[in-house]
Amino acid sequence: MQGDSADTTTRPFPTAPGTALPGGEPTATPTPALPLRAAGVLLGCLTALLGLLYFVVVSTPLGPLLLWPRTRRRAFVVLIAGGRRLTALERWRRSVFFGDVFPARPVPDQRVLRYLAARTYAGLITGVVLGLLAFGAVLAGLLVASLVRGTLGWGNLVTQVLLGGVLLFLDMQGLFSLQALDARLARECFGPSERELMQQRIDELATSRAAVLQAVDTERRRIERDLHDGVQQRLVALAMLLGRARRGGRTPEQARSLLEQAHKESQDVLTELREVAWRVYPTALDNLGLQEALAGVSERCSIPIRTDFALAEPLPASVETAAYFVVSESVTNAAKHSAATEIQVSVRTHGPVLVIRVEDNGVGGAKPEGSGLTGLRSRVGALDGRLHVHSPSGGPTTITAELPCA
Distance, in Å, from the CA atom of 260 to the CA atom of 109, rounded to the nearest integer, reads 84
Contacts of 270 (CB under 8 A, 6+ apart): none
Residues 163 and 274 in one domain: no
**Helix or strand or coil: residue 196?**
helix
pLDDT per residue as tens digits for the range 153-208: 777 778 888 888 888 888 889 899 999 999 888 888 887 666 767 777 787 777 76
Of 232, 259, 280, which residue is a domain's last? 280
The predicted pLDDT at position 193 comes to: 62
Tell me the pTM: 0.49
Domain membership of residue 15 (yes or no) is no
Higher pLDDT, 371 or 322: 322
Q: Percentage of the chain with pLDDT > 70?
A: 84
Domain membership of residue 5 (yes or no) is no
Q: Which of 355, 367, 343, 348 is nearest to 400 (CA)?
A: 355
Of 257, 280, 303, which residue is a domain's last? 280
Q: Percentage of the chain with pLDDT > 90?
A: 8
Confidence of residue 357 (pLDDT cuts 50, 70, 90): very high
Of 190, 225, 251, which residue is a domain's last? 190
Contacts 24+ apart (CB under 8 A), 30-37: 30/99, 31/99, 32/97, 32/98, 32/99, 36/97, 37/97, 37/98
Task: Identify the domain containing residue 380 by its residue range.
Answer: 284-404
Contact status, residue 94 vs residue 119, Cβ threshold 8 Å: no
Residues 228 and 132 in one domain: no
Whether the pLDDT of residue 22 is over 80: the answer is: no
pLDDT per residue as tens digits for the range 115-135: 888 999 999 999 999 998 888
User: Which amino acid would we find at residue 45?
Assistant: C
pLDDT per residue as tens digits for the range 36-72: 888 989 999 999 999 899 888 887 887 787 778 888 7
Residues 259 and 398 in one domain: no
Whether the pLDDT of residue 7 is over 60: the answer is: no
Q: Which of 402, 398, 403 is nearest to 7 (CA)?
A: 398
Q: Which of 329, 338, 334 is nearest to 379 (CA)?
A: 329
Residues 186 and 53 in one domain: yes
